[in-house]
Chains A and B, each alone.
Chain A
Amino acid sequence: MKKRIAILMVLLLSLTLAACSTPTEPDPNGNGDQKDHVFYVTILTGDTTDKFPHLWNNRGAIFQVTTFRSLFLPNAELTEVKPDLASSYEISEDGLTVEVVMKDNLKWSDGQPLTAADVEFSIKTNLKAAVSNGIYTNAFTKIEGASAYKEGSADSISGLEVDGNKVTFTLTTPVGNFIQVLGQFAIYPKHKLENADPLELHNNDFWKLPVSNGMYKVTEFNSGNYFILELNEHYEGTKPKIEKIQVNFIADAIAAAQSNKLDFYNTNSTDQISELSKLSAYKATPVDILFYRYLIPNIKDATGKVNPTVNDVRVREAIIRAIDRKAIAESLYPSLAALSNAGVPLDHSAYNSSIDGYAYDPVKAKALLEEAGFDFSKTLKLRMYHTDQTSIDFMDAVAYYLGEVGITVDLAVFQGDATSELFQVRDYDFALKNLSAFGFEEWYGEYASTNANFRNILGGETAFDELIERLNASTEAAERAEILKELQVLEQELLYKLPLLQLKNVIFINNDRISVPSSVKFGNPWYNHDIQFEAWSFK
Chain B
Amino acid sequence: MAKFLVKKILAMIPMLLAISAMVFFALELTPTDPINYLISPDMASSAGNIEALRESLGLNDPAIIRYFRWLFNLIRGDFGYSIISGTSIREIIMLRLPATLELALVSLVLSTIIGIGIGLLSAINQNGWIDYVGRVMGVVGISIPQFFFGIVVIQIFAIQFGWLPFGSRMAPGQTAFFDRLHFMVLPAFTMAIAMTAALLRYTRNSMLDVLNKDYIKLARSKGIPEWKVYLKHAFRTALRPVLVILIFRLPILIGGSIVIESVFSWPGIGSVILSSISAGDYPVIMVTTLLVAAAILISSIFVDIATALLDPRVRFE
Inter-subunit contact A424/B31 (CB<8 Å): yes
Question: Count the B residues whose beta carbon is within 8 Å of the partner chain — how many?
Answer: 69
Inter-subunit contact B38/A130 (CB<8 Å): yes
Q: Which residues of A contact B95 (CB under 8 A)?
A: 49-50, 223-224
Q: Is A225 an interface residue (CB 8 A)?
A: yes
Inter-subunit contact A137/B164 (CB<8 Å): no
Contact of B280 among A8, A28, A252, A420 (CB under 8 A): A420
Q: Is A12 an interface residue (CB 8 A)?
A: yes
Inter-subunit contact B280/A415 (CB<8 Å): yes
Shortest C-beta distance, B140 to chain A (Å), equals: 6
Contact of A131 among B86, B169, B265 (CB under 8 A): B86
Inter-subunit contact A11/B114 (CB<8 Å): yes
Q: Which residues of A contact B75 (CB under 8 A)?
A: none
Shortest C-beta distance, B130 to chain A (Å), equals: 10
Q: Which residues of A contact B168 (CB under 8 A)?
A: 250-252, 255-256
| In the bound complex, CA of A26 to CA of B30 (Å) | 50
Q: Is A353 an interface residue (CB 8 A)?
A: no
Q: Is B212 an interface residue (CB 8 A)?
A: no
Q: How large is the interface on A (under 10, 10 to 19, 20 to 34, 35 or more residues)?
A: 35 or more
Inter-subunit contact B172/A42 (CB<8 Å): yes
B interface majority secondary structure: loop
Write the chain A residue with the least CB distance to B81. Answer: A203
Inter-subunit contact B169/A251 (CB<8 Å): yes
* CB within 8 Å for A1 and B185 given contacts A16-B163, A40-B172, A418-B280: no
| In the bound complex, CA of A387 to CA of B84 (Å) | 14
Inter-subunit contact B172/A420 (CB<8 Å): no
Contact of A26 among B40, B85, B179 (CB under 8 A): B179
Inter-subunit contact B164/A202 (CB<8 Å): no
Inter-subunit contact A421/B31 (CB<8 Å): yes
Against B, the Cβ 8 Å flags (1 = close, 0 = not) of A424-448 are 1100000000000000000000000
Q: Is B153 an interface residue (CB 8 A)?
A: yes
Inter-subunit contact B280/A255 (CB<8 Å): no
* CB within 8 Å for A416 and B31 given contacts A12-B153, A251-B265, A387-B278: yes
| In the bound complex, CA of A10 to CA of B167 (Å) | 21
| In the bound complex, CA of A340 to CA of B136 (Å) | 56
Inter-subunit contact B164/A19 (CB<8 Å): yes
Inter-subunit contact A199/B280 (CB<8 Å): no
Q: Is B46 an interface residue (CB 8 A)?
A: yes
Shortest C-beta distance, A230 to chain B (Å), equals: 15
Against A, the Cβ 8 Å flags (1 = close, 0 = not) of B39-61 are 11111111111101100100000
A interface majority secondary structure: mixed
Q: Which residues of B contact A256 (CB under 8 A)?
A: 168, 171-172
Q: Is B251 an interface residue (CB 8 A)?
A: no
Inter-subunit contact A255/B165 (CB<8 Å): yes
Shortest C-beta distance, A288 to chain B (Å), equals: 24
Q: Which residues of B contact A57 (CB under 8 A)?
A: 43
**In B266-283, which residues have CB < 8 Å from any A CB?**
266-267, 271, 275, 278-282
Contact of A1 among B33, B91, B140 (CB under 8 A): B140
* CB within 8 Å for A12 and B185 given contacts A28-B174, A136-B45, A417-B279: yes
* CB within 8 Å for A417 and B84 given contacts A246-B172, A251-B169, A385-B279: yes
* CB within 8 Å for A259 and B52 given contacts A16-B164, A416-B280: no
Q: Is A413 an interface residue (CB 8 A)?
A: yes
| In the bound complex, CA of A150 to CA of B88 (Å) | 26
* CB within 8 Å for A131 and B45 given contacts A16-B163, A16-B182, A425-B31: yes
Against B, the Cβ 8 Å flags (1 = close, 0 = not) of A1-41 are 10110011001100110111011011010000000000010
Inter-subunit contact A12/B157 (CB<8 Å): yes
Q: Is B79 an interface residue (CB 8 A)?
A: no
Inter-subunit contact A416/B32 (CB<8 Å): yes
Write the chain B residue with the least CB distance to A254. Answer: B167
Q: Which residues of B contact A134 (CB under 8 A)?
A: 45
Inter-subunit contact B41/A420 (CB<8 Å): yes
Q: Is B133 an interface residue (CB 8 A)?
A: yes
Write the chain A residue with the least CB distance to B182. Answer: A19
Q: Which residues of B contact A40 (CB under 8 A)?
A: 172
Inter-subunit contact A222/B175 (CB<8 Å): yes
* CB within 8 Å for A130 and B185 given contacts A203-B86, A203-B88, A248-B173: no
Inter-subunit contact A11/B189 (CB<8 Å): yes
Write the chain B residue with the least CB distance to A15. Answer: B185
Shortest C-beta distance, B142 to chain A (Å), equals: 13
Inter-subunit contact A452/B47 (CB<8 Å): yes
Q: Is A470 an interface residue (CB 8 A)?
A: no
Shortest C-beta distance, B216 to chain A (Å), equals: 29
Q: Which residues of A contact B281 (CB under 8 A)?
A: 417
Inter-subunit contact A199/B52 (CB<8 Å): yes
Inter-subunit contact B275/A420 (CB<8 Å): no
Inter-subunit contact B275/A46 (CB<8 Å): yes
| In the bound complex, CA of A387 to CA of B279 (Å) | 8
Q: Which residues of A contact B157 (CB under 8 A)?
A: 12, 16
| In the bound complex, CA of A340 to CA of B244 (Å) | 60
Inter-subunit contact A251/B185 (CB<8 Å): no
Inter-subunit contact A48/B87 (CB<8 Å): yes
Q: Is A126 an interface residue (CB 8 A)?
A: yes
Write the chain A residue with the least CB distance to B276. Answer: A417
* CB within 8 Å for A130 and B49 given contacts A11-B189, A49-B95: yes
Can you add 19 more A-B contacts, CB < 8 Å, to A23-B178, A132-B44, A417-B32? A1-B136, A15-B185, A19-B182, A28-B173, A28-B174, A46-B275, A126-B45, A131-B45, A223-B91, A225-B175, A246-B173, A248-B172, A248-B173, A251-B271, A387-B279, A414-B280, A417-B36, A420-B31, A424-B31
**6 A-B interface contacts by CB (under 8 A):** A19-B182, A50-B88, A50-B92, A50-B95, A200-B38, A246-B172
Q: What 9 pairs across the A-B complex have the smallest Cβ distances? A: A248-B172, A19-B182, A132-B45, A419-B41, A416-B280, A224-B95, A252-B265, A261-B172, A251-B265
